Amino acid sequence: MKNLSIACILLLNVSFAQDKGSCSKVKKRSYDQLKSNSLTITQIAETERYDVHYYFLDLNMTNTSATLSGTAEIHAIARENLDSALIELFSSMAISALEVDGVSTAYTRNSNVVKIPVNKLQGENFVLSIAYSGTPPNTTTNPLGGNGMTNKASPSWGNVITWSLSEPFGAYEWFPCKQSLKDKADSCSVWVTVPLNCKAGSNGLLKQVVDLGNGTHRFEWKHLHPIDYYLISVAVGKYVEYNVTANPSNSAPVLIQNYIYDNPSTLPYFQSDIDETADFLELYADLFGPYPFANEKYGHCMAPISGGMEHQTMTTQGMFDNTLTSHELAHQWFGDHVTCNSWSHIWVNEGFASYAEDIMLEHLYPQDRAQYMLDRHDNIMAQSGGAVWVEDSLTDGSIFDSRLVYDKGAAIIHTLRFLIDNDNLFYQSLQDIQTIYADSVASAMDMIEVFENVSGKSFTNYAQEWYFGEGYPTYHVRYNKVGNDVLVEINHTTSKPSVTPTFTNDLELKIDRISLPDTIIRFTVTNNQNQYFISNMSDFSAVTEIDPNNWIINKENGIVNDPSFVSITGVKNVLPLSVEVYPNPAHESIFISMNKNSDYQYSLIDMQGKLIKKGGFTVETKVDLSTAKAGTYLLQILDSTNGNKISKLVFRNEK
């Protein structure tokens, strides 16, 4: 590219209406709701008097019925002096024997609540052993759940499967447990005895399959990582096993163990899609941090569900395509390894797994990525309101709202990535979350605080407007060229002004130029109307696009060239900065020289918005370009004392 003159762009932001206050750290609001669809608040408090550290299930099951029998052990420790332990088991499941530390013990039962005398001092361990049997409920017998265990034939392939799906409150429908997100068991074992023509899939490693000599065999699974109650799983069916291996760069190879319907047409139909799981795992391991369960496995059990359920180390999935498979795999990091601490904050699970779909498309299917996000935005804006934060955390429809929790949840992470304005810091934040909250739980505010700490930016307004807030902005832009200067005004209204009257996120505009490539300029939006002054942009042609890279959920209400827009109140008394950048074009390096002393920060950004270099200086500095690719860059210089910013195009050429 040949360039003869460089424009000096001075962005001076003039706001109308009152600024919102901000703080350095997002406030951790108390939205961790203690709710259960079967326990009272008092009963929930009783369950918190002990911690579970191990579940052992030894079950008898078939693929032709949801009815089961067996024994469950709960290994726990008293958090305080404990007279009794309260557990949940659905009322249709009959208890035939109950022991505490191997001793038969009387207990009381009120519907789904079982209260067991334990008489332990604080810090003492105990083991509850419950022999039980019965048929788990369905949606008719338990309208608040009924999905804990299901038996059904696949409408597409005909295979009959029995499988569990305990999220959010359905685990107690098929095994005795404590349904507390914050109390992950340290490990679990799931043994399942099934007919010889069936296989049983579950969490962790398959230690052995024991032929019992009576037409059945027992699959013995052992998982040595912390796990939440709803992620313990079983699936029983006539399966064939098909395995592939992922080779992530930061761990040993990972087995991907798949139980696929034994229908001879099923595996050939899905095989190439299943094989891609290895590509997805390798990608996510690079971006999110090592696969959390690399010393065991990842895998799938097929079952006739319309999507998938991210059971830890072995997802239950109805079919295979790139977005579904990558979504469920991403849950192993966001949802399983790090879990929401309340169903109100299901964004920790579903928002990040949904955005992982977009990340997968960005890297492996880039031609599909832009439209995928646009479709999300269209679905979000089909209605005017709704928050990502879930107020009604007892209703499945609210917890798993596809428009708000999944689509808006993913879209606002895309916005957060834009606000951070540095992919290295964005992905470092994701990796830090995996380290800080490993094998534990987190709220949305915990997650956002990590992004704040890594980026050094405040996301208080972001949390208020995009996570707790409702709606989306509609932007209108007017502009005018006055001599060699350009005036720009950004106005926006919101779809839910009673809840969120203003969105203060940055916004990009695409600028067409006469003799230079089109330019995307980022504007700081603080109010419903902001005006900006761009100095000495002689080759300016027009403002042509709002949010050209689709970072923000928004609608547009026009871009207008307004000849009557000739001045901005308050700008004429502002002393513009002056900068020299030389040589330009350059190859090895450039020098930046300011016209006055101050505390300056520079950022060198490529035309895709990626930060290449940054640094601080007072009057002059040298910027090394030797590792940058040939092309056009935007050099932004911020005067930290008054917030004024200069942007200048820089060109790196080949020798």
Instruction: Answer whether residue 297 shows pLDDT above 80.
Output: yes
Instruction: Answer whether residue 4 shows pLDDT above 70.
Output: no
Token pair in block for residue 343: 């169903």
CA distance 166 to 174: 9
From residue 603, alpha-carbon distances to 455, 526, 648 in Å are 14, 21, 10
Task: To the nearest 10°, report the CA torsion of 137, 140, 142, 146.
Answer: 60
Which tops the pLDDT comparison, 105 or 139? 105
- pLDDT per position as a tens digit, 166-191: 999 999 999 999 999 999 999 999 99
Instruction: Answer whether residue 308 shows pLDDT above 90.
Output: yes
- 95: pLDDT confidence band, cut at 50, 70 and 90? very high
Token pair in block for residue 143: 């309208």
CA distance 219 to 201: 8
Q: What is the predicted pLDDT for the residue at 569? A: 62
Q: Give pTM, 2 decimals.
A: 0.85
Instruction: Answer whether residue 350 shows pLDDT above 50.
Output: yes
Which tops the pLDDT comparison, 332 or 517? 332
CA distance 516 to 491: 27
From residue 241, alpha-carbon distances to 200, 244, 257, 282, 328 in Å are 11, 10, 7, 22, 19
Q: What is the predicted pLDDT for the residue at 22? A: 32
- 593: pLDDT confidence band, cut at 50, 70 and 90? confident
Q: What is the predicted pLDDT for the residue at 168? A: 96
Instruction: Answer whether residue 12 shows pLDDT above 50.
Output: no
Mean pLDDT of 217-243: 98
Q: What is the predicted pLDDT for the residue at 632? A: 75
Instruction: Answer whether residue 5 shows pLDDT above 90.
Output: no
CA distance 563 to 553: 30
Instruction: Answer whether residue 400 shows pLDDT above 90.
Output: yes
Edge-to-edge strand ranges of the sheet holding 160-164:
149-153, 160-164, 235-237, 199-201
- 32: pLDDT confidence band, cut at 50, 70 and 90? very low
Instruction: Answer whether residue 138 shows pLDDT above 80.
Output: yes
Instruction: Answer whether residue 436 shows pLDDT above 80.
Output: yes
Mean pLDDT of 419-426: 96
Residue identified by tokens 């060239």 is: 561
Quote the strand ranges of 154-273, DSSP E: 160-164, 187-195, 199-201, 205-211, 216-223, 235-237, 239-246, 254-261
Instruction: Answer whether residue 641 shows pLDDT above 90.
Output: no
Token pair in block for residue 25: 């750290």
Amino acid at 636: Q
Q: What is the predicted pLDDT for the residue at 73? A: 98
